[in-house]
């Protein structure tokens, strides 16, 4: 048996404890908006990391939940493990839908996205310590509290930590249905297009008005046409609104637009097109606000090499992992965009993130923790 195989065996022997750990933290509900609940969870996770011998700090935040930063080893560089403890589920969800186990799956709000990943991170460290193969290189586990709302209170910290490490492992959920790792993510943009026309009485002075909704209709067609499936770019007018009453020529109308791009060139093309929209109707003006809030995580050779190392570790342990990517963003977008090799989707296998059927495949917990432990050991000689 190799050391990596021993790690997997030890974790499988402790699957029951891993599940209990996951249930304990899923039952501490933690929507992004509930700071007191997040702070309680942060304190509990800080204790967990302390018990594993980490040097732990809890970083206070005013507007968001506190952040946990746990470190093992003091060398420069090393690996950053990225997790978030916030979920999209309101307090009280658990009373409606308690945690349940069925057919080898654990159902629970936030279990897949991404408390399973937190358990995997902590138990990977446990295994490395248990088998006395914790690498010399530094490992930092960062657990943030506002990923689901755009990471405004954590982005600067995430970026600084990423730059201080050699590699970033993101413990976001694996890609369903087969638990693929993510080597790319699209950049995510958010724009608001506001049209101003001129109000008038729809009956008495129709010709004096300039209809902002009519103008917006032209613009919606133009915006939708920016989608380019060949380039994997999508542009979605997701919400529109305008006007006040049917007997008033509307002065205002606006659209809320979601943009997803694979690379900086497409980001630039879309940004230029949106900011240069020209009105069709004389007398209207268009104002465009917004931009990318997460840059694309581009599939670079360094990221592919990380994936290949993961595939080798998995093969040594007797299972396979596939490579994938997604249009959804994560904090891995920030770290990859800084040029720090980032492998994402190393969290639990399962399905239903942000959905009622959210669940984790229980058998994936020891496998994924072992995979991560193997990656961290490999780093020692890197």
Q: Where are the alpha helices (DSSP H) in the chain?
A: 3-13, 15-26, 35-51, 93-96, 116-130, 155-163, 212-224, 264-275, 301-317, 332-337, 364-380
Backbone phi and psi for residue 131, each to the nearest 5 degrees, phi listed first: -100, 15
Sheet with 100-102: list strands edge to edge: 100-102, 105-107, 359-361, 350-351
Residue numbers 275-304 binding Zn ion by CB under 5 A = none
Q: Which two tokens stand for residue 73?
A: 């080893």
Which residue, 87 or 233, is less far from Zn ion as judged by CB? 87
Answer yes or no whether residue 29 interacts with Zn ion by CB under 5 A: no
Q: Which is nearer to Zn ion, 114 or 259 (CB)?
A: 114
Q: With respect to Zn ion, which residue has the nearer C-beta, 114 or 141?
A: 114
From residue 48 to residue 87, what is the string marking binding to Zn ion with x (rule CB under 5 A)? ----------------------------------------
Q: Report yes or no: 210 and 281 within 8 Å, Cβ to Cβ.
A: yes
Build a one-symbol-per-residue string for 178-207: x at contacts with Zn ion by CB under 5 A, - elsewhere. ------------------------------
Least Å distance, CB 144 to Zn ion, is: 10
State in angstroms the smallest separation of the CB of 147 from Zn ion.
5
Distance of CA 103 to the CA centre of its chain: 27
Asked if residue 113 binds Zn ion (CB under 5 A), the reply is: yes
Identity of the residue, 105 or 182, whose beta carbon is nearer to Zn ion in the bound complex: 182
Which range in 40-48, 107-115, 154-162, 244-252 contacts Zn ion by CB under 5 A?
107-115
State residue 292 phi and psi, 5-degree precision. -75, 130
Please give the Cα distance from 276 to 289 (Å, whole number).
Answer: 12
Q: Does 114 bind Zn ion (CB under 5 A)?
A: yes
Tokens of 183: 């080597």
Q: Which is nearer to Zn ion, 161 or 172 (CB)?
A: 172
* Interface region with Zn ion, contact rule CB under 5 A, candidates 105-113, 188-196, 226-234, 354-362: 105-113
Q: Which is nearer to Zn ion, 172 or 214 (CB)?
A: 172
Point out which residues pair with 287 in neighbouring strands: 194
Binders of Zn ion in range 156-175 (CB under 5 A): 172
Which residue lies nearer to Zn ion by CB, 113 or 344? 113
Peptide bond into 177 cis (omega under 30): yes
Number of residues that bind Zn ion (CB under 5 A): 3
DSSP 8-state secondary structure symbol assigned to residue 229 = G
Within 8 A by CB and 6+ apart from 158, the residues are 82, 142, 144, 151, 331, 334, 335
- In the complex, least distance from residue 172 CB atom to Zn ion, rounded to whole angstroms: 5
Residues that bind Zn ion (CB under 5 A): 113-114, 172
């Amino acid at each position: 048996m190799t050391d990596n195989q021993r790690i997997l065996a030890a974790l499988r022997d402790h699957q029951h404890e891993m599940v209990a750990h996951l249930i304990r933290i899923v039952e501490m509900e933690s929507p992004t908006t509930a700071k007191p609940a997040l702070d309680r969870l942060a304190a509990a996770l800080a204790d967990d990391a302390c018990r594993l011998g980490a040097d732990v700090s809890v970083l206070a935040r005013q507007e968001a939940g506190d952040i946990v930063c746990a470190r093992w080893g003091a060398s420069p560089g090393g690996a950053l493990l990225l997790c978030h403890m916030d979920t999209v589920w309101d307090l009280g969800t658990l009373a409606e839908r308690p945690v349940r186990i069925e057919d080898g799956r654990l159902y629970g709000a936030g279990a897949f996205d991404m408390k399973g990943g937190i358990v995997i991170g902590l138990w990977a460290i446990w295994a490395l310590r248990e088998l006395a193969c914790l690498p010399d290189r530094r490992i930092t586990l960062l657990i943030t509290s506002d990923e689901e709302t755009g990471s405004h209170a954590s982005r600067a910290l995430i970026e600084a930590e990423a730059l201080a490490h050699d590699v970033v492992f993101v413990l976001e959920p694996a890609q369903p249905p087969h638990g693929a790792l993510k080597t790319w993510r699209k950049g995510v943009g958010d724009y608001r297009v506001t049209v101003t026309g001129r109000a008038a009485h729809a009956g008495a002075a129709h010709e004096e008005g300039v209809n902002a909704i009519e103008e917006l209709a032209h613009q919606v067609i133009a915006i939708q046409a920016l989608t380019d499936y060949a380039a994997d770019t999508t542009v979605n007018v997701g919400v529109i609104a305008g006007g006040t009453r049917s007997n008033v020529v509307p002065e205002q109308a606006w659209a809320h637009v979601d943009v997803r791009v694979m690379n900086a060139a497409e980001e630039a093309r879309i940004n230029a097109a949106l900011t240069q929209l020209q009105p069709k109707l004389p007398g209207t003006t268009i104002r465009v606000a917004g931009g990318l809030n997460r840059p694309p995580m581009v599939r670079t050779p360094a990221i592919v090499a990380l994936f290949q190392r993961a595939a080798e570790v998995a093969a040594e342990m007797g299972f396979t992992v596939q490579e994938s990517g997604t249009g959804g963003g994560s904090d891995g977008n920030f770290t990859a965009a800084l040029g720090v090799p980032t492998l994402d989707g190393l969290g639990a296998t399962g399905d239903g993130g942000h959905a009622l059927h959210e669940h984790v495949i229980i058998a994936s917990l020891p496998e994924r923790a072992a995979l991560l432990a193997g990656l961290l050991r490999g780093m020692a000689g890197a």
